Chains A and B, each alone.
Chain A
Amino acid sequence: MRCSIPAVLVVACLLAAPLATRTSAHHSFAAEYDANKPVHLSGAVTKIEWTNPHVYFYVDVKDETSGKVTNWAFEMGAPAVIARTGWTRTTMKIGDLVIVDGSQAKSGRPHGNARSVTMASTGKKLGAGSSQYTEPQ
């Protein structure tokens, strides 16, 4: 199998690009979210708030055991921040199936900080402008 050097570099750059975007929320990640409570959830989008200080979206998540459906809220970066990682207002629509990776709020509510969102229909994965790694001094 041949693998040209430019292709390798392009792939590497694509992998690195979302990580290289440093973001700064109006609050510290640790003030609200618990890095030790990772979540990996999927479901249908029920609402999207394309607003400052954070874009919020809501997902109906079904517990496979009990069948109970919980509506989760997920925080992303500000609209201008996640635009840099490829988001537009129409990237995600109500009813879309998404897979969300992130961290749950320390409060224990069904509320999380999204690190990435994968569109189930296309497999496209987008960074979500998480403030997790930008703790200031």
Chain B
Amino acid sequence: MRTRWLIGAVTAAVIALFMAQLAPEAQAPETGAPPSTQGGRGARGGRGAAGDQGSGRAARGGRRGGRPARESKPTPRWPDGRVNLSQVPGIKGFWNVGTGSPIGPAGLPGNLTVDQVPFQDWARALYDYRRSRGGLDDPHARCQPAGGMRFFTVPNGMEIIDQPELQRIFIIDGENRDWRRIAMEPGRKHPPEDQLVPSYFGDSIGHWEGDTLVVDTVGYNEKFWFIRGGLPHTRFMHLVERFTRTDFDTLKYEVTIDDKGAYTRPWSGGWNIPWQYENYDGSPGGEIHEYFCIDNERDSADFAGR
């Protein structure tokens, strides 16, 4: 009898886990999360329930192979005391990007729900249309570059290469071997608008606020969806991104979307990105692998004519 009870309990747990996997994130209600207001980022932080959902799921990815969860080591620092946002000597790995969203429950506790996003009417209508098409019109589905913050939601590893002696930081992505360059020269300004060539990654300048890297970017083109769900943006989009390594295994990514073309006011969101010690496929190594989306892209043949 006891064994039967146990089998029943374990089966129920497995079914519950299975159902949890089936639950589309888009439909998961966000409960208990207070509406975030502009500039309300300070109310966020830490790893609350919703944040844990995002980071916890990904953190399992960072500990594949059935190893038990472990306490994270403290935030690493360079010998001069500056925070180290990437690998440290003797410990390989990378940031396991790919599961976060600036809205909804796959992110920080203060993330807005879709209905709380301050869309302009046309932007909400376009977002709903994109959703109704099941992502068919997503340029990245045809392997176009993952621009803007989409860079951090494509799942092939990310490293932050800090070169203070050159006053620049590179962020490299396994996805298509893409990279971003953050100019760190003090006092650096963006080029005048008439000299900015609209691009997928824009013009980024950064500075440190304590242990947080703050990156300001303008100059985006309109040829990408900045998150996979299809939130619209325009050439006016201005992103302020904040990177905080809250402990060794966690990079808190917060972003403010300021786009007067698509939203009625700036709004913020974020998610936690976990450190991955193994290769992305779970094998030992901790190194980013090659991923070119265009290599054997066969999906667009099915998209055509629909």
Contacts and interface: CB of A to CB of B under 8 A. Distances in A.
Interface of A: 2-3, 5, 8-9, 12, 15-16, 19-20, 22-24, 26-32, 49, 51-54, 56, 73, 75, 78-81, 83-84, 105-107, 109, 111, 133-137
B90 interface: no
A26 B61 CA distance: 18
Given A32-B299, A79-B281, A83-B283, A135 B292 contact: no
29 contacts: A12-B14, A19-B17, A22-B21, A22-B57, A24-B98, A28-B134, A29-B134, A52-B291, A53-B143, A53-B293, A53-B296, A54-B299, A56-B298, A73-B298, A80-B156, A80-B279, A80-B281, A80-B291, A83-B283, A107-B301, A109-B302, A133-B21, A135-B24, A135-B25, A136-B227, A137-B104, A137-B114, A137-B227, A137-B229
A22 B99 contact: yes
A91 B298 CA distance: 22
A32 B104 contact: no
B10 interface: yes
Interface of B: 3, 6-7, 10-11, 13-14, 17-18, 21-22, 24-26, 57, 60-61, 64, 98-99, 101, 103-104, 106, 114, 133-136, 138, 140-141, 143, 153-156, 227-229, 279-283, 289-293, 295-299, 301-303, 305-306
A32 B60 CA distance: 28
Contacts, number: 141
Given A16-B18, A53-B297, A80-B280, 15 more contacts: A8-B3, A8-B6, A12-B14, A27-B299, A28-B138, A31-B133, A32-B299, A51-B296, A52-B292, A53-B291, A73-B298, A83-B283, A105-B302, A136-B25, A136-B227
A79 B106 CA distance: 25
Given A27-B299, A28-B134, A80-B279, A137 B6 contact: no
Contact of A136 (B21, B26, B296, B306): B26
A9 B10 contact: yes
Nearest to A11: B10
A24 B141 contact: no
Contact of B17 (A2, A16, A32, A137): A16
Contact of A28 (B60, B98, B141): B141
A81 B282 CA distance: 9
A106 B304 CA distance: 11
Contacts of A80: 156, 279-281, 289, 291
A137 B103 contact: yes
Given A53-B143, A80-B289, A28 B135 contact: yes
Nearest to A105: B302
Contacts of A136: 25-26, 101, 106, 153, 227-229
Contacts of A3: 3, 7
Contacts of A78: 291
A60 to B, nearest CB: 18
